[in-house]
Every structure is written in structure tokens, then in C-alpha cells.
Amino acid sequence: MKMIIKARHLELDESDKKYIEEEINKLKPLVWEPAIVEVTISDEAGGKGGVDIKAEINIECCGNFFNAKETTSDIRGSIDLAKEKMEIQLRKHKEKVIDKEQSKR
């Protein structure tokens, strides 16, 4: 699984990058190889002058494209919520593919 981590309008330190890699690697059992995972963390202007951190996860595998976005006030919260959304999408897809294969038999 090839992973690309991008930061837009902010700097990610090594601990944040390591955390992102650890969390995304938890999705590995649900992703068929070869896969490209792109994680973009961006600093968005929040309401009332606050700062919001948006995490976007894109996964391309087996001709399919999956996308999950989430915005919270911190990097780790955004990553966790986006990863949960992605996990749901990948589980649904994997179950669908397995059901399809079993119905052919």
C-alpha cells in the first residue's frame, strides 16, 4: 500500500505523521493491493474566527475510489473520524464483493 501524506496551510510534525501512518495501516486488511492512499490534512477557517482541521482520505484500489472527509478542531480527531468513515465504506465494499463471488458458485 503506497501512502502519500500531504499538509495544506499547516506543518505536520513527525509524531502527527507517524500517528497518521499507524491509523491508516489499520485499514490494510480491508484494502486489496495494489492500493494508493492519499491523506490530506488542511487548515480551514472555522466559524467565529476559529481554526478547523480537515482530514481527507482517498484510497484507490482495484479500479475503485473511496473518499472520506472529516473536520474537527484537532488533527488526531479529524483523522480518527475520517478513518472510521473509510472503514465503513471499505467493509461494505468488501462484503459486497465477497457476496457477489459466493453467489457465482
Contact assessment for residue 53 and residue 46, using Cβ atoms and an 8 Å cutoff? no
Q: Tell me if the pTM is above 0.85.
A: yes
Q: What is the number of domains present in the chain?
A: 1
| CATH code of residue 31 | 3.30.160.100
Give per-residue pLDDT as tens, 7-60. Answer: 998 899 999 999 999 999 999 999 988 899 999 999 987 656 667 899 999 999
Sign of the C-alpha dihedral, residues 69, 70, 75, 79? negative
Q: What is the pLDDT of residues 56-82, one digit of tens each?
A: 999 998 889 999 999 998 899 999 999
The CA distance from 27 to 39, in Å, is 13
> How far apart, in Å, are the Cα atoms of 13 and each of 7, 10, 73, 74, 93?
10, 10, 17, 14, 33
Domain that holds residue 72: 2-104
Looking at the chain, the number of H-run helices and the number of E-run strands are 2, 4
